[in-house]
Structure 1
Amino acid sequence: MPETLIEVDEVSMLYNISREKADNLKEYLIRALKGGLAIDEFWALRNVSLRMRRGESLGIIGLNGSGKSTLLKLIAGVLQPAKGKIQVRGSIAPLIELGAGFDYDLTARENIYLNGAILGHSRAKMNESFDEIISFSELEDFIDIPIKNFSSGMVARLGFAIATINRPDILIADEILSVGDMKFQKKCESRISEIVNHGASVIYVSHSVESVKKLCTKAAWLHKGELVRFGDANSVCDAYLESLE
C-alpha cells in the first residue's frame, strides 16, 4: 500500500479580526495596549481531518470563504493550526499565491534563480533547468524584461514552470489553471498528470468542478470551514453541484 504523505487530524484555524479600523500601525498598537480594540473570532476551519497517499490527487472545492486556501497554507507550512495536527512527508512545491517569491523589479531570468533558491534549488540546478523553464513557460522573448511588466498569465506560467522542474513529492496549486489561455492550461494539466503518474501527490483548489473531476482521484468539499464530504472525486463533486442547484 502506498505510503501516507499527508495527515490532517482535527485541524482548526482561528483568525482574530478587529471590528475597528486604525489609520496606522501606531494607532492600532496604542488601542490594543489600552484594551480599546474590539476583536471578533473567525474560525476559518473547524475540525478538518483527511489523509492522502502517494500517487493520489486531491481537489478541494467549495464556495468563496469556505477555507480552501487556508487549508492549503496549513499543509504547506505557511500557517500553523490553532488546534489539531498536520504531518507532511516529502518535498512540497507550493503554488499558493500568484507571484509569491518573485521580485517584480527583477527580470524573468533573475527571478528564475531567486525563486529557485527560495525553493531550495542550487544555482547549478537552475542552470541545468533554465532552458526547460523558459521553454515550458513560453517566455523566450521576455527573459530580460522585469516581470512587473508581465500579465498575470505570464507570471503564472513562470511560477508553475519553476515549481514543477524537480517533480516534487507534493504539488500544491491554488487556482493556477484559472490563469492563462486554454493552450497553457492544457500544458499544466499534462504536467500535473505526469507528476501524479510518477508517484507524487497533487492538492488542487479550483472553482472548476470539471477540472477537479478530470485531474483528481479524491475531493474534499468545504463549507464555512467544515469538511462536508471527502472521498471519490466524482461523487463528491456531484454532491457539491447538487447542493448549488
Structure 2
Amino acid sequence: MLKTSESATARIRVSNVRKDFKLRHTHSIKETFLAAVRRKQLTSDFQALSNVSFDIAPGESVALLGFNGSGKSTLLKLISGVLRPDEGQVLTRGRVAGLIEVGAGFHPDLSGRENIFLNAAILGMSKKETEERYADIVAFSEIEKFIDTEVKHYSSGMFLRLAFSVAIHTEVDILLIDEILSVGDEPFQQKCLARIRELHAAGKTLVVVSHDLDMVSDLCERGILMRNGKVVFDGNSKEAVALMRA
C-alpha cells in the first residue's frame, strides 16, 4: 500500500521494476533426461520487464498497450499483486479488483451463488456488503437460472459474466481489466463497457489491457506503450495507439 507520506496523489506507483521468468525447454521427465544426456540447455531466462516506472493518479483511465510478449499483462499482474517484482516496487493505495483471468478464484465444485460470496471475500468485501449487493450482482450477470449450479458446468461466457459482475459491484478504488471484454456476446460487452464508464465517471482508477485498440483509445485517456519489457511511450492514448500501428 502507498503511504500518504510517500505520495499524496498516486493511486498506483511502479518504480524501477524488473521481472524475470525461467523458461523450460522440455515438457516431460523423458525429454528432460534426454536433453541432459545430450547436454542441451534445459531452461533459459526471459526478462519480461526492465526498469519500468510510472505513477497513475486517482481517477485516471490508463491503457497498457503492446504486442504479445511486450510485458503488459505481466505488469498488470504485478499491480494486482498476483506476481511480485524481482527488483523495484509496485505500490497501490486503495482496494484493487482485478479482472485478469476469467473464472480465476472460482471453485469449480461450488455453485454460482457460493462463488459470489467466495470471490467477493477475496476482493475484500464483508459478508454483509455482499448480501446487500447480491441481487444486483446476479441481475447484471444475467445467469439467474444457473446461479445454484456448480460453476464447473458453466461456459467461459458464464464465468465472465459472473466474475465481471462481482468485481464491478465491489467498493473498489482500482479496477484492472485484461482482455476480459473479448469474451461474451456483443450486447453484454456493451453493457460491461457502459458500467466501466460509470465507474470511471465516479472517480475509479482504471488500468486496461486489450488488443481492441479502438476501444481502449476511446475508453482511456492515457496510453502506456510497452515494447520488449520497456516503456517506450507514455501519454495520450490516441497517440499511443497511432505509434503502435505505425
TM-score computed with the length of structure 2 as normaliser? 0.89
Q: Deviation at 1:18?
A: 3.0
Shift of 1:42: 0.4
Q: Is the 8 A contact 2:222 2:234 kept in 1?
A: yes
- Residue identity (%): 43
Alignment partner, residue 189 of structure 2: 185
The C-alpha deviation readout for 1:103-126, integer Å capped at 9, x for no partner, is 112111111111112112122211
- State yes or no: 1:201 paired with 2:205: yes
Aligned to 2:245: 241
How far, CA to CA, are the matches of 2:121 and 2:91 in structure 1?
Answer: 24
Matched, 1:17 2:23: yes
Code of the aligned partner of 1:146: E
Deviations 1:127-149 (A, max 9, x none): 11110001111111111111122
Pairs within 5 Å for 1:1-245: 3-23=9-29, 38-242=42-246
Looking at structure 1, the residues matched to 194 and 43 of structure 2 have their Cα atoms a distance apart, in angstroms, of 46
* 8 Å Cα contact 2:63-2:223 kept in structure 1: yes
2: CA distance, partners of 1:201 / 1:51: 12
8 A contact 2:95–2:171 mirrored in 1: no
Tell me, yes or no, if the aligned pair for 2:23 and 2:43 is still in contact at 8 Å.
yes
CA distance in 1, matches of 2:203, 2:27: 48
Displacement of 1:21 in angstroms is 3.9
Q: What secondary structure, in the 3-state scheme, does the structure 1 residue paired with 2:29 have?
A: coil
Normalising by structure 1, we get a TM-score of 0.90
Which amino acid counterpart does residue 183 of structure 2 have in structure 1?
V
Partners of 1:177 and 1:167 in 2: CA distance = 21
Give the count of matched residue pairs.
235
Q: Distance in 1 between matches of 2:185 and 2:171?
A: 23
Q: Is the 8 A contact 1:167 1:195 kept in 2?
A: no
| Structure 1 residue 88, shift from structure 2 partner | 1.0
SS at match of 1:4: coil
For residues 121 and 156 of structure 1, what CA distance do their matches in structure 2 show? 19
Equivalent AA in structure 1 for residue 59 of structure 2: G
Distance in 2 separating the partners of 1:225 and 1:157: 31
Deviation of the 1:200 alpha carbon: 1.3
Q: Is the 8 A contact 1:170 1:201 kept in 2?
A: yes
Tell me the distance in 1 between the aligned counterparts of 2:60 and 2:124: 24
Q: Shift of residue 236 of structure 1? A: 0.7
Q: Give how far 1:190 is off.
A: 1.1
- C-alpha separation in 2, matches of 1:17 and 1:144: 41
Amino acid at match of 1:171: L
1:193–1:83 CA distance, 2 compared to 1 (3 A):
same
Aligned to 2:67, the other structure's residue is in SS state coil
Q: Which runs of 5+ in 2 are unaligned?
A: 1-7
Q: Distance in 2 between matches of 1:196 and 1:167?
A: 13
**Corresponding residue number in structure 1 for 2:4:** none
Give RMSD over aligned pairs: 2.1
- Could you tell me how far apart the structure 1 residues matched to 2:209 and 2:41 are? 35
